[in-house]
Amino acid sequence: MRRFPAAPTGILEGHLKILSLREVELQDDAKAITEAPEQPYSEYPLIIRSRDGGKEVARLTADAGGNYRLVLQPGEYILDVQGRAPKRVRTNPKPFTITSNQTVRVDMDVDTAFAELATPIANIGSRASFVC
């Protein structure tokens, strides 16, 4: 039986930045969006989907420094954050293309400010209500 060599792969690499709404001392005592002091990267796993958004191809978690790297077959993909809607975080899914023997860099910013502003006001049965 004749075997054909696998197509050469490419590499996705990038950095996950988690932005958080936290109090900082400003002259007018306002709040500002800044990079979160302790980065809980494991709480925001990344998913790779086919370009049409249907098929999940891979999952990965950024390392302690927020960096990630993954070998993929050539093709068109979308990088997204797993559970983006239920976690109430803002981010934009990022399309990218993997080419054989090439590295593509796709950085991802996750804005958690909306989730931090959502405050539960009532818990009725198994459903919670929020005020933003």
pTM (2 decimals)? Answer: 0.69
Asked if the structure places residue 5 within a domain, the reply is no
Q: State pLDDT tens for residues 94-114.
A: 999 999 999 999 999 988 765
Half-sphere exposure of 69 (CA within 13 A, CB side): 7
CA angle 18, 20, 69 (to 5 degrees): 0
Q: State pLDDT tens for residues 55-76.
A: 999 999 999 999 999 999 999 9
Asked if the structure places residue 34 within a domain, the reply is yes
* Rounded distance between C-alpha atoms, residue 39 and residue 60, angstroms: 16
Instruction: Quote the pLDDT of residue 82.
Output: 82
Looking at the 3D structure of the chain, how many domains does it have?
1
**In which band, very low, low, confident or very high, does the pLDDT at 36 lie, cut at 50, 70 and 90?**
very low
Instruction: Quote the pLDDT of residue 94.
Output: 94
Instruction: Quote the pLDDT of residue 112.
Output: 78
The yes-or-no verdict on residue 26 having pLDDT over 90 is no
- CATH code of 38's domain: 2.60.40.10
Instruction: Quote the pLDDT of residue 130.
Output: 42
CA distances from 78 to 59, 71, 84, 94 (A): 12, 14, 14, 5
Nearest CA to 102 out of 40, 12, 25, 10 is that of: 10
Asked if the structure places residue 1 within a domain, the reply is no
